[in-house]
Amino acid sequence: MQNKVKIIQGAAIDSMTKMIAEEEEPFDMIFIDADKPNNPNYLKLSLPLAKSGTVLYTDNVIRNGELCNGESSDEKVIGVRKFIEDLGELENVESTALQTVGIKGYDGFTISIVK
């Protein structure tokens, strides 16, 4: 039986860039849950690693409602806001955001499908 899991260690941007350069086969699902200021970069790098039907799941995108605060200087909020804006501009991706409420407060995630 072939190995089904390949563990890659390193900075996500570097690892994703290397996978693109090595023409890795597209993924069925891509989970984005790293440093929030780089979410726009992770989105950009996810697309060459995706195919029609790939699910993009991005966690922690509500930030206790701070995305609506245009005055926020929090780098995490700014990164997630840019990610949401970029996601909304993609014509080949359908997306929705869902808010969650729990012990950690208000947060949420996006689910996107590559057309």
Q: Which amino acid is at 108?
A: G
More confident residue, 106 or 48: 48
Instruction: Write down the residue that tokens 């200021």 correspond to.
Output: 37
pLDDT exceeds cutoff 60 at 21: yes
In the predicted model, is pLDDT for residue 4 greater than 90?
no
What pLDDT does 7 receive? 87
**35 occurs within a structural domain:** yes
Q: Is residue 79 in some structural domain?
A: yes
* pLDDT at residue 93 in the model: 98
Domain count, the chain: 1
Residue-number span of the structural domain to which 85 is assigned: 26-114
Of 75, 78, 83, nearest in space to 32 by CA: 83
pLDDT at 2 over 80: no
Q: List CB contacts of 50: < 8 A, sequence separation 6 or more.
A: 26, 27, 30, 56, 114
Taking only the tens place, the pLDDT of each residue in 72-103 is 999 999 999 999 999 999 999 999 999 998 88
For residue 1, pLDDT over 70 is answered with no
Q: What is the DSSP letter of 51?
A: -
Give, for 29, the enclosing helix (H) or strand (E).
strand 29-32
Residue 21 falls within a domain, yes or no? no
Assign residue 53 the CATH number of its domain.
Answer: 3.40.50.150
Distance CA 41, CA 28 (A): 19
Instruction: Answer yes or no: is 19 within a domain.
Output: no
CA distance 107 to 64: 6
d(CA 80, CA 42): 11
Q: Is residue 86 part of a domain?
A: yes
pLDDT tens column, 22-67: 999 999 999 999 999 999 999 999 999 999 999 999 999 988 888 8
Residue 18 is assigned to a structural domain of this protein: no
Does residue 52 belong to any structural domain of this protein? yes
